[in-house]
């Protein structure tokens, strides 16, 4: 699980609408752009099998070290010209890390269909959350702390399940992750719309993590429940 988030406490009022719209527009463009290195990383990982040996504790250490390292670098460079390249490098790394699961799913007879279904499902969740964020009037800032706690519980549960290897545990964690990160999407999108996030690189990182986790969790569920080995 990539349950790595940053909580920002900002005055959400008195924000210039033009600046707010600019942040939202730049965030959407950068989020779309970030999918390209993710796909490239996943394709390289599947084609070369470079991540096949990263299982169990080794894979967990590589993932956590890389993810935390990149996120620290993004935070340090988000206000400079290096911020976007560092973010895109992070999304390439995440694509590489995802490639092992994608390769496993593609091993099913209907693997390609499962991947496309997970992609369509993720896009659908994003569209619904973006629509809700644009019509909900109430302040959702109180959700942040509870969602952060939920993400931390998911991360701990995911780490434990790496060593336990429980299919039932994976089903439960994946289902919870879809719910929690869908709520995170709503929370982060509403925060951008309300002017609570003024840096589009930070905003993109938050949305990307939610989208990544939703896709990964949907793919895991589909692979476990709908994979055709015949």
* pLDDT, tens digit, 9 for 90 and up, residues 82-91: 999 999 999 9
Banded pLDDT at 194 (limits 50, 70, 90): confident
For residue 126, give the nearest of 83, 181, 81, 173 by alpha carbon: 181
pLDDT at residue 56 tops 70: no
Task: Kindly list the distances between the CA atom of residue 4 and the CA atoms of 108, 149, 195, 219, 224, in Å, as whole numbers in the listed order.
Answer: 30, 11, 22, 19, 24
Provide the pLDDT confidence category of residue 10 given band limits of 50, 70 and 90: very low
Give the residue with greater pLDDT, 156 vs 3.
156
Per DSSP, helices labelled H in 165-226 are: 167-193, 200-226
> Which residue would you say has higher pLDDT here, 55 or 185?
185
| Residue 63, pLDDT score | 86
Q: What is the pLDDT of residue 15?
A: 58
CA separation for the pair 144, 76 (Å, rounded): 22
* Over residues 191-212, mean pLDDT: 92
* pTM (whole model) above 0.85: yes
Contact indicator for 103, 49 with CB cutoff of 8 Å: yes
Between the two ends of the chain, the Cα-to-Cα distance in Å is 29
Give residue 164's pLDDT: 82
Question: What is d(CA 30, CA 86) in angstroms, rounded to the nearest whole number?
Answer: 12
């Amino acid at each position: 699980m990539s349950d790595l988030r940053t909580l920002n406490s900002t005055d959400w009022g008195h924000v210039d609408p033009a600046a707010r719209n600019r942040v939202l527009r730049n965030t959407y463009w950068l989020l779309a752009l970030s999918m390209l290195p993710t796909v490239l990383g996943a394709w390289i990982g599947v084609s070369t099998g470079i991540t096949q040996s990263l299982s169990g504790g080794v894979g967990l250490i590589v993932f956590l070290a890389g993810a935390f390292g990149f996120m620290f670098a993004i935070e340090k460079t988000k206000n400079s010209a290096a911020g976007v390249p560092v973010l895109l490098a992070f999304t390439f790394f995440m694509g590489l890390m995802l490639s092992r699961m994608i390769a496993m799913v593609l091993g099913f007879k209907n693997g390609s269909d499962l991947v496309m279904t997970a992609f369509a499902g993720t896009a659908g969740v994003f569209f619904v959350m973006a629509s809700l964020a644009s019509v909900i009037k109430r302040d959702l800032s109180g959700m942040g702390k509870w969602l952060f706690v939920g993400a931390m519980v998911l991360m701990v549960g995911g780490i434990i399940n790496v060593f336990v290897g429980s299919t039932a545990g994976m089903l439960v964690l994946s289902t919870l992750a879809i719910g929690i990160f869908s709520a995170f999407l709503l929370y982060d999108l509403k925060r951008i719309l309300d002017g609570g996030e003024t840096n589009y690189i930070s905003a993109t990182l938050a949305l990307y993590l939610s989208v990544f986790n939703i896709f990964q969790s949907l793919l895991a569920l589909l692979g476990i429940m709908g994979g055709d080995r015949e």
